[in-house]
Chains A and B, each alone.
Chain A
Amino acid sequence: MIKGIFYFLIFPGFLFTAAMGCLSGWFDRKLTARIHWRVGPPWYQNFVDFLKLLGKEIIVPADSMRGLFLFAPVTAVIGATLLSVVLWQPNLRTDSGFLGDLIVAIYLSMIPALALIIGGMASRNPLASLGASREMKLMLAYELPFIVSIATVIIKNGYTIRLYEMVQHQAAHGAIIGSPSGFIAFIVALLCMQAKLGLVPFDIAEAETEIMGGPLVEYSGAPLGFFRLSKLMMLFAMPVFLITVFWGGIAPGALGAAVGLGKLLVILLVAVLIKNTNPRLRIDQALRFFWGPVTVLAVISILLTLAGL
């Protein structure tokens, strides 16, 4: 019981994911700032940003559905926490997880986006509902290639849908990313991650200069802080997800942790570089992009896998 609470609240659950998320977010902000010829914030910036938002007044719009409006950000944080817990079990080799935890992880990774949609709709602001509808379309767009790319992994790992076995299989036979088909699937998943995290060019749902933050437009104070925190947590959890299923997971021990950190930084680096070298796409272009070339790539990777490459 105590162990369970520790697991969910401290490590590798809420506190650890939140702290690592804030640091990943700092890496993103600092690197972006350097690319922009700016100085960038100190490492604790995201922590104090969150603490500051906790202390601000919470304004709930009069027309909104109060319960849902306040419930959505908490859901987003819980989703990100659970995703992290499920992902870290195989990586810490503490527990062999359960059959189908890969599927659960995929579902959990959608929850922050769903919470954003619910929160945006609940606020009854036209800009927010516009942002929510864009987020919905974006989800439809990226989930298809994402799941197809995960299918490649499932086939390559000997038709297993248990994360623990995936990590073990990769430890024995080499990381999936090493093979041509696995690499293609990894690229596809990386692009989908970019959209899942709402980074440019797929920050269509928030589009500050068009719809002023979309679903977040009515949020203030602690709920806004929780949404921001859930985004930061996902910025850590999604790369860990990709590392676990594509890149051999994170081995226990100091060396394993260091290598894992290196992998995390590489994935973040790619994401930040994509973010800073592209303009925002239109929602129809994003949809066409994901259902067109990206899905085709994902299918090619499956065909290559079946051909044994």
Chain B
Amino acid sequence: MSKKIIPVGPYHPLQEEPEFFQLHVDGERVVDIDIIIGYNHRGIEKLCEMRTFDQVVFVVERICGICSISHPSASVNCIEDCARVTAPLRAQYIRMIIAELERIHSHMLWLGLAGHFIGYNTVFMWAWKYREIVLDIFERITGNRQSYAMFKPGGIRRDIKKEEVPKIINELGELERSLEMFRGAVLDDPVLHARLKGVGILTREDVITFSAVGPTARASGVAIDVRKDDPYFAYDKVDFDMIVTENGDVFDKVIVRVLEMFESVRIIKQGLTGMPDGPYDTPLKDMPPGEGVGRAEAPRGEVYHYLRSDGSNTPARYKVRAPSFMNVATNAVSAVGQSIADATLTLAAVDPCYCCTERMQAVDYKTRKKVYNWSDLVRLSQEKTQQLKKKF
């Protein structure tokens, strides 16, 4: 059979966001892959530089709709790091609880989508049905099902009321029962084993080469988790396990995510019971010139935010690096050599989030050459910074 290009994207039922994978196939086997992103660039970093530090947290919350608390987590860490303040302990606990609730709902969402990708629509519908429990908890404690606007530099906006705690613990019990069902369904289904085991293997070496993070790395035996390696919020005060498996195939990626949800439930329960009383907000007075770095473990891996302040009320530079940026690139090794049916699964197994990942590149449409190379970009950036410095 001759070589063909099978397009997965820019609009494809496999993934709900615009992205483009060109699968070069020989018959049914994928021999090469081109990963093309950049359909949805929104200039978030630039937007952040035009907003005050309080507003930055709102803007970065809009980077991603699914993990809408991971970017604010990294952002508040980053701003607080730069401002040399620490949020009160109660705020840290509540932040942790919300971040873990979000991990559960994000993993549930992925589990449902993964079911849909392999044609198992019952899993799709059931996972999303039980995900509603988490969304209901969110609605009660933050007022929103998505984009909670809970975090602010120096604390949080709303407290979790005392009478809410037993209710939430009760609902978590219900959630745990449904998670048990999914764990059983994944571990015991022979057809799922046949379909997912040994598919899209990402070796430990490849994970290190590509700097993959999050469940993608942990499924390949690389124990990397910001919550353990560099504890933020109140993660050093609760007891939980890092789930690491060895095989690196799609099946292990499912297992890591399913088991992580149980750990998240554990963390939330400990957080709810161990939460100290006290204030949940400290006012942020002024921002000294300097730099700040914030990390957070998003459901997909490490989110990294960098901030440079020149003493004004807006950041002079804001930089975001989302986990999918590294994870999507691993498809270049894990999807090659698979059949198309397996390659599409592999593409989806890293739980990609393109909105977080978008990078821009200017290309001359006629000559198909890059308009700016590295030194051009550095020069442009310096000129722009100078202009802005003069302006403000």
In the complex formed, the residue of B with least CB distance to A137 is B28
**Scoring B residues 1 to 36 as 1 if CB is less than 8 Å from chain A, else 0, what string do you get?**
000111000001110000000000100100000000
Please report the C-alpha to C-alpha distance between residue A180 and residue B13 in the assembled complex, in whole angstroms.
44
Given contacts A126-B6, A278-B120, contact A208 B194 (CB under 8 A): no
B340 sits at the interface (CB 8 A): yes
A285 CB contacts on chain B under 8 angstroms: 194-195
B119 CB–A CB distance under 8 Å = yes
CA of A130 to CA of B27, assembled, Å: 8
Which residues of B108-125 have CB atoms within 8 Å of chain A's CB atoms? 115-125
Q: Ordered nearest first, which 6 A-B pairs have the shortest CB separation?
A: A280-B119, A36-B125, A279-B120, A279-B118, A210-B344, A282-B341
* Docked complex Cα distance between A212 and B119 (Å): 12
A226 to B118, CA, bound (A): 27
Size range of the interface on B? Answer: 20 to 34
Q: Chain B residues near A92: list those with CB within 8 A.
A: none
Tell me the bound Cα distance from A46 to B5 in angstroms. Answer: 35
Please encode chain B, from 193 to 218, with 1 for each CB lying within 8 Å of some chain A CB and 0 for all others.
Answer: 01100000000000000000000000
Measured CB to CB, the residues of A under 8 A from B are 32, 35-38, 126-127, 130, 133, 200-201, 203-204, 207-212, 276-285
Main secondary structure of the interface of A (DSSP, over half): helix
The docked-state distance in angstroms from the alpha carbon of A283 to that of B120 is 16
User: In the bound complex, do residue B120 and residue A209 qualify as a contact, i.e. CB atoms below 8 Å apart?
Assistant: no
From B116, which residue of chain A is reached at the shortest CB distance? Answer: A209
Q: Please, how many angstroms separate the alpha-carbon atoms of A276 and B192 in the complex?
A: 13
Query: Is B237 engaged at the interface, CB distance under 8 Å to the other chain?
Result: no
Do residues B6 and A279 form an inter-chain contact, with CB atoms below 8 A? no
Residue B129 CB within 8 A of the other chain = yes
Contact B129 A282 (CB under 8 A): no
**A175 CB to nearest B CB, Å:** 31
Interface status of B191 (Cβ within 8 A of chain A)? yes
Q: Is B191 a contact of A283 with CB atoms below 8 Å? A: no
Tell me whether chain B's interface is mostly helix, strand or loop, or mixed. Answer: helix
**11 other contacts beyond A210-B341, A212-B12, with CB at 8 A cut-off?**
A35-B122, A36-B126, A127-B6, A200-B120, A201-B119, A209-B119, A209-B344, A210-B344, A281-B195, A283-B339, A285-B194
Chain A residues, CB < 8 A from B13: 208-209, 212
| A36 (CB) vs chain B CBs: closest residue | B125
Q: CB distance B28 to A279 under 8 Å?
A: no
A279 touches B191 (CB 8 A): yes
- Least CB distance from A291 to B in Å reads 16
Docked complex: B187-245 residues within 8 A CB-CB of A: 191-192, 194-195
Interface residue B342 (Cβ < 8 Å from any Cβ of A): yes
10 examples of A-B residue contacts, CB within 8 angstroms: A130-B4, A200-B119, A200-B121, A201-B191, A208-B13, A212-B13, A279-B115, A281-B195, A282-B195, A284-B339
Q: A90 to B28, alpha carbons, bound, how many Å?
A: 44
Q: Contact at A282–B6, with CB atoms within 8 Å?
A: no
Q: Which residues of B contact A211 (CB under 8 A)?
A: 6, 340
A276–B340 Cα gap in the complex (Å)?
A: 23
Contact A203 B119 (CB under 8 A): yes
Interface centre among B13, B119, B192 (most CB of A within 10 A): B119
A127 CA to B7 CA, complexed, in Å: 8
From A35, A37, A283, B341 is in contact (CB under 8 Å) with A283
- Determine if A280 and B118 form an interchain contact, defined as CB atoms under 8 angstroms apart: yes
In the complex, are the beta carbons of A126 and B5 less than 8 A apart?
A: yes
B342: nearest chain-A partner, CB-CB:
A282
Whether the Cβ atoms of B122 and A281 lie closer than 8 Å is no
Assuming the contacts A279-B195, A282-B342, A283-B28, asked whether A130 and B119 have C-beta atoms less than 8 A apart, the reply is no
Judge whether B341 and A204 touch: CB under 8 Å.
Answer: yes
Whether A38 and B125, one on each chain, are in contact in the complex, defined by CB atoms closer than 8 angstroms, is yes
The A-contacting residues of B in range 63-103, CB under 8 angstroms, are none
Structural contact, B119 and A282, CB atoms closer than 8 A:
no
Given contacts A36-B121, A36-B125, A200-B119, contact A281 B191 (CB under 8 A): yes
CA distance A279 to B195 in the complex (A): 8
Residues of B within 8 A of A282 (CB): 195, 339, 341-342
**Least Cβ–Cβ distance between A174 and chain B, in angstroms:** 35
- Bitwise, B171-199 to A at CB < 8 A (1) or not (0) is 00000000000000000000110110000
State in angstroms the CA–CA spacing of A98 and B287 once bound together.
Answer: 93
Residues of A within 8 A of B25 (CB): 130
CB distance from B151 to the nearest CB of A (A): 33
Q: How far is the CA of A126 from the CA of B3 in the complex (A)?
A: 10
